Structure 1
Amino acid sequence: MFNKYGAYGAIHALLAVALGAFGAHGLKDRLTEEMLNVFETGVRYHMFHAIGLLLIALAADRIGKNDQRIRWAARLMHLGIFLFSGSLYALSLSDVKWIGIITPFGGLAFIVAWGLAAYSIWKAKSSSD
C-alpha cells in the first residue's frame, strides 16, 4: 500500500506545485481576483492533502497493509483531492457556477479520511501498549 499511495501523494504534490506556478504566472492576468483566489484555494488544499496522503501511506506501512480503515483513509484522501481541488480548478477556469456543488463532497471525503486515519492510528497505538 505504501508504494501505491505514497506515489499518489508524491504525484499530487508535484501537480500542486506545477498548478500553483501556473496560477501565479499564467493566470494572474486572465482571471478575476476572486477566481484567482478560488484557484489558489484549490492548490493549497491539493498540497495539504498530498502531504496527508504521504503520511497516511507511511502510517499504513507501519500499521499493516490489511487495515481497512487506513486503506479507506488513503482512498478518500485521493478522491477528495479530485473532488475538492479539481472542482475549484474547474470553477475558476470556466466560471461555470454549478461546478461548485461538487466541492463540499471533496471536503467531506477529506474529513472522513482524516477521521479514519486518526482512528486507525489510535487503534494501532493502543493495541501495542
Structure 2
Amino acid sequence: MKFFLIAGAVNALLSVALGAFGAHMLEGRVADKYIATWQTAVQYQMFHSIGLMIIAILMSSAFIGPLSSLSWAGYLMLAGIVFFSGSLYVLSLSGISVLGAITPIGGVAFIAGWIMLIVAAAKTL
C-alpha cells in the first residue's frame, strides 16, 4: 500500500513538473505535434498517478483490503506510465518515430490495470 501511495505521489509531482517544462521550455523548440504528444503523456501520467493513489487507499481500507488483484492493478498502471508516457516523452524530445511502437504496450498495461481494479471491486462488493 505504501509503495503505491508513494509511487502515485511521485508520479503526480513529475507530471506537474514535466507539464510545466513542456509548456515553458519546449514551445518554439520542438514541433507543435510534439508539444501535443508531450501534453498527452503528462495527462495520462497524472490520471494514472491518481489511480495509483486510489489503489493504495483501497489496499489500506478495511472495505477492500490488500488483494492480489489490487497489487496487479498498481503494478500495471506503473508499467503503463513508464511505457506509455515515457515513450511519448522521449519521442517528443528526440523525434524518433519508432518509439511510438512502444506506446501501445503502455496503453495495454493501463487497460489491464483498470481491468484488475474492476476484478478487485467485483471480488469484494
Task: Tell me what 1:76 maps to.
Answer: 76
Task: Tell me what 1:21 maps to.
Answer: 20
Q: Secondary structure at the match of 1:30?
A: coil
Conservation of the 8 A alpha-carbon contact between 1:72 and 1:116: yes
Q: Which amino acid aligns with 1:12?
A: N
**Alpha-carbon displacement from aligned partner over 1:41-69 (angstroms, at most 9, x marks no partner):** 0000010000011111111222222x111
Count of matched residue pairs = 123
In structure 2, the gaps of 5 or more residues are none
| Distance across 2 between alignment mates of 1:60 and 1:35 | 37
Q: Which residues of 2 match residues 45-124 of structure 1 at below 5 A?
A: 45-62=44-61, 63-65=64-66, 67-124=67-124
| Distance across 2 between alignment mates of 1:107 and 1:77 | 9
Q: Which amino acid aligns with 2:65?
A: G
Q: Secondary structure at the match of 2:28?
A: coil
Conservation of the 8 A alpha-carbon contact between 1:59 and 1:121: no
Task: Tell me what 1:33 maps to.
Answer: 32
Task: Find runs of 4+ consecutive structure 1 residues off by over 4 angstroms.
Answer: none
In structure 1, the gaps of 5 or more residues are none
| Distance across 2 between alignment mates of 1:122 and 1:30 | 48
**Alpha-carbon displacement from aligned partner over 1:2-33 (angstroms, at most 9, x marks no partner):** 21110000000000000000000011111111
Q: Which amino acid aligns with 1:97?
A: S
Task: Give the TM-score of the pair, scaled to structure 2.
Answer: 0.95
CA RMSD after TM alignment: 0.8
